[in-house]
Every structure is written in structure tokens, then in C-alpha cells.
A and B are shown apart, each in its own frame.
Chain A
């Protein structure tokens, strides 16, 4: 049983208990609901009458259970009827659009124009008070709500590829609606359902309270509240019982619907934590006093760094060195840990992840050595943007959509410098011009959505280099771009490199061809480990790890008749092979590979490979 299914047990049991109790009311050993006992009116709880007696001396417990029968039937019944009709209307309207939409969703929306209580009053007045007219009134009342919710959800889902796939398969539209779209619009439908059940119960109580719902002497929770109100001073408890029942039932239904929603979603719910619950292990975060770095120290030296989520190691003992002015490419497939390594350098790891070992010594402008992996939030914030900064893959998501481009660049500058007014503006425009945005004075006032993809990426690079960082981390900065735009952005990076000779760069990418264009050194990662590193030209000329060799061979360049594919896929972090992690997919693998993880070998000065068979690779 999955975690989400287990979570259904509690609300499911309570709801089942409630439903069973009201259903079994006729067979339960209850007192007569209508049996009056005037001498004992307003009597408190006793052995015979557990919850006491009301203004006619009737048993409150019996009336509560029988009353629940009426209230629940009306609320759940009308919620279900309305759900069925409204869903059908919403699905049809949302999928077919056009005239169908007019006849279904738009027609249903007319009801929304009428005040709900008035509408209910109208129906009840025409058909007379009673259970069924009330169900009808509430059904009419709630149908447009469902129709609207389902209509909106359907419109979102109908454009998705899997619906298009069904269409192109020649599936009948009605079948697509029921089989493909309905399950995918269920979550908002369930939320709506829980709201409607609650609201219907309240309205039922209200109408009964007004004398327009259930007719006395048939009990309902609304009627009970109504009669108890008159005797509030004498027997306040009479008001408490039906109110408690009402509130408890509504809460149970809401909980049930919430849990049902997560149980119905096959995708695992990602565990996220509130920011203030962030684990802070005091020991790991004690910042070491900055030490004077040696004069020839590299800009960044990561040694044996590991990153883990709870007990699962995602990055294991990664080492990486960046010298001033050097561009190091971090290459790997998805799941290789390359992005996490980059994020860790800016202290931007997701909350559930932590650096569990190793160090990342960074040499600051003042020549001090600090360990980025051990800095606390305050310390890393002082460096972030000023000395170490980052360019993200998706500029559209990384830029704030409601702030003008110029303000976002200015914000980055102000975070570390006391620049104001005219001087700040000049600097912003200068930066935008520097990254090749045409007409920067005007563009500074543009919002991100007014720029094209390439321009947005340039704007984000402007934000990143605003304070002349010494280490720039670029995470797949050209992956989402078209070839001609990608070429422009790569050219921009090359230009930045030329103009700021001291700046080191970590270029995270999965594209080997991009590595060849931009980087000086390359570090190849696989399944959270570094498998090979060295100067780009040498590594590409003669890879010394089977994975690197296979990656290069799988690039569809050159005239090979058939592409070399690496069989299988990257192992999941839960099931990492014991020895070399690449062994299960490797053509060179022997018994030795599956027994022990290979140690670092140095085939040539400045090169590292982690493979027992590196001599035979190429």
C-alpha cells in the first residue's frame, strides 16, 4: 500500500462511520424521534438520553442521527447529481468549443447570475418544501460551478500531447472524453466536490432553518439548530450537538477529498519542506575562519564533494578545479549530478539536499580561501552575485515576469554596491549594451515577456555579470535556444571570457559539441561521479573512459552509417551498481569492474579517468 493510500484510511474510516450510522438509523436501538416527553423538556444528558432532550422532550441523539440522514442525503446527493451533470457539460463544452460550448457551459452560467438563496427559495416555493425539491434546487445551484471548473481543466488538458495522440489514433471523441480527459480533470473536480458538499450542508441547514427545507417533525440538522436557537439561554447544549455534527462532517469530507486527490495521482508527491523547517546542522555550517590562500591557488577547488538527499547520495566524491580565466565544462546526461554540483557552489541547492562531505575551496577577491560547501546562508549571500554568480537554463522562468529588465539588473548591482540614481541607470544600460541587447535604453524598460528568447537569455547574463563575478556558473544556458540564437549566445560567452581574463567559468551542459566550442577543460560526469577529466581537445581526441568514448560516438556527426548508442539507461540513485557505476552499460566491463569502484588514474599530465581498462579504450 502506498503512502497516499495509507493516508486515506483515517478520513475514509470516519466518513464510513458517519454514513453507516445514518444508514443504520432504523435498526439502531434508538429512542423514537418523535416521541415527546414534555415534562422532561430541556433535560440534560442522562443514561437514557445520552445527549439530553430537546424543547419537546425528544431524544437529541436519535434526532441527530435521523437528522443526519436527511442532511447528508440532501448535501451529498445534490453534490453528486450536480457533479455528474456539470462534468458532462464542462467536458463537452471544453473539448468541442464553439456552439457546443455556448449550449453547455455558457448556458449553465446563466444560473450563476441569480443569487443562490433566491434561486433555492424559488424552486422550493414552486415545488413545495421537502427533501426532493431541495435536492433539485441545490443541484441546479451547483451545476454551473462544476461545469466551469471542468471546462477550464478540460481546456488545459485537451491541448496536451497525449490527447492529440489519441486523436491521431482515430479514437472516437466521446471515448477520448471519458477515457483520457475525465481522469485528468478529476483533481480539481474533487476539490470542487468537497467545497460543494460543505456548502450544500450549510444551505440545507439554512433553508430548513427558514422553514423551507425539510418539513418538521422530520428532523434535520438545520431544523435542530433552528429550534435550539429559541432555547439558547435555557439549554445551550442543544445548539452545540447539531453544530458539531455539521462541522465535523464537513471537515471529514474535505479531508477525504484532499486525500483522495493525492491517492488518485500516480506520480509520487514530491516532498518539499517549508523554508523555516530547513534542516540546519550546526556542526556542518560552522564557517571556518577565512585563511590566506596561497598565491597560486586555483579560483575554485572542489575536493571529494558529496551531495545527498536524506540517505540517498546523488553526487559522490566529485573533484573539480577551476583556474582564473579557465572555462571548465561539466558534461553529463540528466541525472548525472552536474546541475547539483553547480548549484552547490552558489548555495542554491533544493532544501531537501545537503552537501554531506568534501570541500569546495574558493579564493576570494581579497585572496582569502573560503569553503563554499560549509558557508552559512549569510556568508554565501555575500559572495553570491558578487563573486560567484549563475546563469540558468530557462531565462523565461528565472527572470521575474512583473519587473522590468532594467530594474532586475539594477537590483543585482544594488545588492552589492551603493550605486543610486543616474549612475545606476548608466551602469544598467551599459551592461545591457555589453551583452548585445539592441537599443538598451528602451529595452531596460521592457518586461521579460516583451523580449525574445535570445534577448531574455542576454538579459539574464547581464544580471549575472552585473558585479563582474570571478566565477560564473552557466547551467545549460543555450539548451532551450534555436541553433542560430545558440551560436549568438555562445559567441557572447566567448566575448565575456576574452574581456574579463580573470573570470573562471563552469559551463554545465549535455551537449558535447557546445563543450568543444566553448571550454578549455572538460569534466565528464556519470551517475553522480566524475568519470573523466582533462583538456577538451585531448579528451575528445582520445577519450580514456568508455563512457566518454561512447558519448562522443553517439553524436550524429560525421558519415557513420549507424549511430553508436549506449545500451540501457542511467541507474537510479536507489540502485547504484556496487562497483563502477557505468559497468552494466559498458562494453569493456569485466568482473573486476562490478566488484570494486575504480580509482582515479592519470593517463597523461592533467588528465584523470576512473576506469580499470582505460588503456584499452582508445
Chain B
């Protein structure tokens, strides 16, 4: 295994796109449905990138492509300098040791019919991480690492609560000693108090193991807490990306602002948020609006927005926005015309 220089990003996605063509009727023409379009993204070791967006924005498809589970229609996805789509089956399986995934649904991500220990040992055995005689000790160590008793190894998933299952899923992901973890909404199905346990666990692991992490979520608070860099997606495209404190502190894209305003808060404002609540719903990806995908719901939209898809232009250091009317504004400030 060649160690990449620490400055080079571990994971590089270049203008990734994924099309799911659908056909209407028996003889109908295939219709393009782009779940992800033109997404470029890099993640370095020890960095957590958060992907935020609502259902249907393509964030999970992006996660699967970055794991090599799904091949991009356009663009390239490379891990540690190797193009994933050029790899053969055995090569990909070998490389997948270094990339692991944590899923949203802690009830669906574990095989209900096998013991926890057997499922965690799978990765150890497949990639010969430890000699066969030490598999048991290693499973125990992994369980301890995620804060579960070692006796858990003999039990089956249905005997555990949601939070405990999510820890088991994390232990399984860690078993192959990965460098890169994709966490697809790992806490959305959990109770608040358990969410905090899992978020803290992921944070500790990232720090201790120097992992690169892609954290997919629709919960802005969790993302803000955990991530160094944020990517906001809407209808398959990145609409804003940048350092966490910039994107949340002074969001430049009207969608990011709307998302922030829509998120309920323990300390609700005076109710003026009412006007800020986004009207309408996500357009169908099969029939996206012309020009800027957000213009149908955008409070700032004007004629120019319909003509062309805006470019992802910098508004600050490492901070890009896809909006022709972009400007960093704090929530209190007036929107510049």
C-alpha cells in the first residue's frame, strides 16, 4: 500500500453524473433522469465533508458512487489516485477494504439471521486483517471501541436497540481498517439522546484514526457540528460548498438560507421566519426547470435565472456558490437586490 502524501486528497470526484433513464410505456422514448449532475468533490485524510440536501437531491446516489457501489455515467471517481471505474472485480474488492459505509437504517443494515460477531468478522476474514486465530479477540476489541460489551458478539441484531445497532454497524465498517467512510444519514433514524452518542463516536473515530469521512444528512445541526466542509445539494447539483462556519454563518445561496430558516430551533425567533419558509416542493428530476434548478422556489428568482444553469463561482476562499445573485448575507441583513 503506497501512502499518499498527506497534502493530496484521498478521494477525488470529478464532474460526477449519474443518469437513471426511465421509459414511459412500452415503446416510449427513454427519458433522462439525472440523479447527480456535475459534482466535483475532494476529501483529504482527517477531513469530514458534510453533504446536505433534502430527499431527491442525489446525496445518497453520490455517496454510493464515491464508494464504488454505483458507477458514474459521466466523470471519474478516484480513490488514492486510482480510477474506480477502471478497476476489475477482484481489484475493486481489494480496494474496498479501505472504503466502508455506515447506513441510515440500523434495522436494515444488519443481517437479521447471523450473529453480530460473525458479521463483524466477515471483513476481517475477507481481507485477512488478522490471523484466523485472533479474529475473536479482534471482534471483541472492535466492539469495545464502539462502546459495546464483548458479549454482544454472540447475539443477533434484533436483541439490540437502534443506537446499539448503529454502533455495531460502525464496528463492522471499522473492521477492515478503512481510510474512508461514507456515513449515509447515520443518525436520522435514532433518538436524540442516542444521536449524540453516535455523533460523538464518529467524531472520536475520525480524530483517532485520521479517517476521511463523507457525512450525508438532512439535519443541518448535526452536519454543522461534525463537519469541516459543507456541500449543499439541490436537484442533483451542488449549489453551495465551503467551510462549515461560512456556509452556516453567512449562507450565500438562497436555498441554503431557506434550509437554515426551515430547520426548527430550540430557540425559535419572533415568528418572522414565517415569510422565509420555502413555498412549493422539489421539482421532479425527470423534468427539471430550465436554467437554475432552484428558480421555481427561489424568492430572488428573476428572468435571467431561467436562461442558463449558473456556474459554481467562488465567493470566498474555498467557498463556491451556484447563483447569479449570490452574496454572503447574514440572516439579519437585507437581501441585496
Q: A486-B262, A554-B193 are in contact. Are A165 and B93 (CB under 8 A)?
A: no
Judged by a CB distance under 8 angstroms, whether B105 is at the interface is yes
- Count class of interface residues, chain B: 35 or more
**A557–B219 Cα gap in the complex (Å)?**
11
Contact: A550 with B122, CB < 8 Å?
no
- Asked whether B54 lies within 8 Å of A484 as measured between CB atoms, the reply is yes
Complex partner residue of A170 from B96, B162, B225, B268, CB under 8 angstroms:
B96
Whether B265 contacts A484 by the Cβ 8 Å rule is no
Q: Return chain A residues, CB-CB under 8 Å to B279.
A: 488
The closest CB in chain A to the CB of B108 belongs to A161
Does A400 touch B at the CB level, under 8 Å?
A: no
| CB-defined contacts of B192 to chain A, threshold 8 Å | 333, 510-512, 551, 554-555
Q: Closest Cβ of chain B: how far from A328's Cβ, in Å?
A: 17
Taken residue by residue from 266 to 288, chain B's Cβ proximity to chain A (1 for < 8 Å, 0 otherwise) reads as 11100001100111011000000
Residues 561-581 of chain A, each 1 if its beta carbon lies under 8 Å from chain B, else 0: 011111101100000000000
Determine the chain A residues whose CB is within 8 A of the CB of B123 once the complex forms: 169-170
Are A454 and B193 neighbours in the complex by a CB distance under 8 Å?
A: no
Q: Is the CB of A569 within 8 A of B113?
A: no
Q: Which residues of A contact B (CB under 8 A)?
A: 160-162, 164-172, 175, 179-180, 183-184, 264-268, 333-334, 452-455, 482-488, 490-491, 510-514, 516-517, 540, 550-552, 554-557, 560, 562-567, 569-570
Q: Is B321 an interface residue (CB 8 A)?
A: no
- Contacts A/B (CB < 8 Å), 7 sampled: A166-B122, A168-B69, A169-B96, A184-B111, A334-B191, A569-B163, A569-B194
Question: Which residue from chain A places its CB closest to the CB of B101 in the assembled complex?
Answer: A168
Give chain B residues whose Cβ lies under 8 Å from the Cβ of A164.
Answer: 69, 101, 103
CB-contacts of B157-213 with A (<8 A): 158, 161-164, 169, 172, 176, 191-197, 199-200, 203
Query: Given A161-B109, A164-B103, does the pair A483, B156 have CB atoms closer than 8 Å?
Result: no
Report whether B69 and A266 are in contact in the complex, using a CB–CB cutoff of 8 Å: no
Interface of A is mostly: helix
Chain B positions within 8 Å of A564 at CB level: 196
Query: Is the pair A172, B114 in contact by a Cβ cutoff of 8 Å?
Result: no
Q: Which of A166, A514, A570 contacts B264 (CB 8 A)?
A: A514
CB distance from A436 to the nearest CB of B (A): 10
**Nearest chain B CB to A57 CB, angstrom units:** 55
Please, which residues of chain A bring their CB within 8 A of the CB of B195? 554, 556, 563
Cβ-defined partner of A484 (8 Å) among B112, B161, B224, B258: B258
B96 to chain A, nearest CB (A): 4
Q: B123's closest neighbor in chain A, by CB?
A: A169
Q: Which of B96, B191, B196 contacts A556 (CB 8 A)?
A: B196
CB neighbours of B96 from chain A (8 A): 167-170
Say whether A169 contacts B169, CB under 8 Å.
no
Bound form: Cα–Cα A453–B224 in Å: 26
CB-CB nearest 10 A-B residue pairs: A170-B96, A513-B264, A487-B262, A482-B54, A565-B196, A161-B109, A333-B191, A170-B93, A566-B193, A554-B196
Nearest CB of chain B from residue A3's CB, rounded to whole Å: 15
Q: Supply 5 further A-B pairs (C-beta < 8 A) apart from A162-B110, A168-B96, A266-B113.
A: A164-B69, A168-B101, A484-B259, A565-B196, A565-B200
CB-based contact B278/A556 at 8 Å: no
Cβ-neighbour of B100 out of A168, A184, A482, A484 (below 8 A): A168
User: CB distance B111 to A171 under 8 Å?
Assistant: no
- Given A169-B96, A452-B281, are A483 and B259 also a contact pair (CB < 8 Å)? yes
A161 to B184, CA, bound (A): 11
Q: Are A517 and B262 in contact (CB under 8 A)?
A: no
* B97 touches A (CB below 8 Å): yes
Q: Is the CB of B222 within 8 A of A488?
A: no
Q: Which of B91-143 contact A (CB under 8 A)?
A: 92-97, 99-101, 103-105, 108-114, 119, 122-123, 126-127
How far is B177's CA from A170's CA once the two chains are assembled, in angstroms?
A: 13
Within 8 A of A (CB), among B22-71: 54-55, 67-69
A165 cross-chain contacts in B, Cβ below 8 A: 101, 103, 109, 169, 172
The answer to whether B265 touches A557, judged by C-beta atoms less than 8 angstroms apart, is: yes
Q: Contact check, A169 vs B122: say whether CB atoms are below 8 A apart.
A: yes
Q: Which residue of A lies closest to B281 (CB)?
A: A452
Instruction: Tell me if A168 and B110 are in contact (CB < 8 A).
Output: no
Contact A266 B112 (CB under 8 A): yes
Tell me if B220 counts as interface (CB < 8 A to partner A): yes
* Shortest beta-carbon distance from A310 to chain B in Å: 20
Tell whether, in the assembled complex, residue A513 and residue B265 are in contact, meaning their CB atoms are under 8 Å apart. yes
Q: Is the CB of B218 within 8 A of A483?
A: yes
Decide if B263 is an interface residue (CB 8 Å cutoff).
Answer: yes
Give the shortest distance, in Å, between A547 (CB) and chain B (any CB): 9
Assess the B263–A483 pair: CB atoms within 8 A: yes
* A172, A483, A486, A512, most chain B CB atoms within 10 A: A483
Q: A164-B69, A267-B112, A513-B265 are in contact. Are A484 and B278 (CB under 8 A)?
A: yes
Does B309 make an interface contact (CB < 8 A)? no
**Complex contacts, B301 vs chain A, CB 8 Å:** none
* In contact, B158 and A167 (Cβ under 8 angstroms): no
> Given A266-B112, A556-B196, A564-B196, A168–B99 Cβ distance below 8 Å?
yes
Q: In the complex, which of the residues A165, A334, A491, A514 has the most CB atoms of chain B within 10 Å of its own CB atom?
A: A165
Which residues on A sit within 8 Å (CB–CB) of B67?
Answer: 168
Instruction: Determine if B266 and A557 form an interchain contact, defined as CB atoms under 8 angstroms apart.
Output: yes
**In the assembly, what is the distance between CA of A80 and CA of B266, in Å?**
62
Q: Given the complex of chains A and B, what is the CA–CA distance between A453 and B282 in angstroms?
A: 11
Q: Who on chain A is nearest to B162 by CB?
A: A334
Assembly CA distance A172 to B158 (angstroms):
26
- Chain B residues, CB < 8 A from A334: 162, 191
- Partner of A563 from B69, B126, B191, B196 at Cβ < 8 Å: B196
Contact indicator A488/B277 (Cβ below 8 Å): yes
Closest to A547 in B: B193
Contact assessment for B278 and A511 in the assembled complex, using a CB-CB cutoff below 8 Å: no
Q: Once the chains are docked, how many angstroms separate the CA of A162 from the CA of B119? A: 10
Minimal Cβ-Cβ distance residue in A for B297: A484
Tell me which residues across on chain B come within 8 A of A264, comparing CB atoms: 113
| Residue ID in chain A nearest B192 by CB atoms | A554
Cross-chain contact B199 with A563 (CB below 8 angstroms)? yes
- Of A453, A552, A562, A563, most buried by chain B (CB within 10 Å of CB) is A563
Q: How far is the CB of B61 from chain A (nearest CB, A)?
A: 13
Give the distance in Å from the alpha carbon of A170 to the alpha carbon of B125 in the complex: 11
